[in-house]
Amino acid sequence: MKTTIKVAAIGCLVVAVFFAALHYLQKNSSVSIALSGTPGAKVSGAYVTDGVLKTFSFRLPASLQFDSKYEFSVKAEKENPAEEFILSIDTVSGFHGESRTDSIYKGVEVHFSSFINKLFCGGSIGPYK
pTM of the model: 0.70
Q: What is the pLDDT confidence band of residue 26, given thresholds at 50, 70 and 90? A: low
Q: What is the pLDDT of residues 35-84, one digit of tens each?
A: 898 899 999 999 888 788 999 998 999 998 888 776 788 999 988 888 88
- Tell me the chain's radius of gyration from C-alpha atoms: 20
Residue range 77-116, pLDDT digits in tens: 988 888 888 889 887 767 788 888 877 888 899 888 766 5
Q: Output the CA torsion sign for 49, 125, 21, 117.
A: negative
Q: What is the pLDDT of residue 40?
A: 92
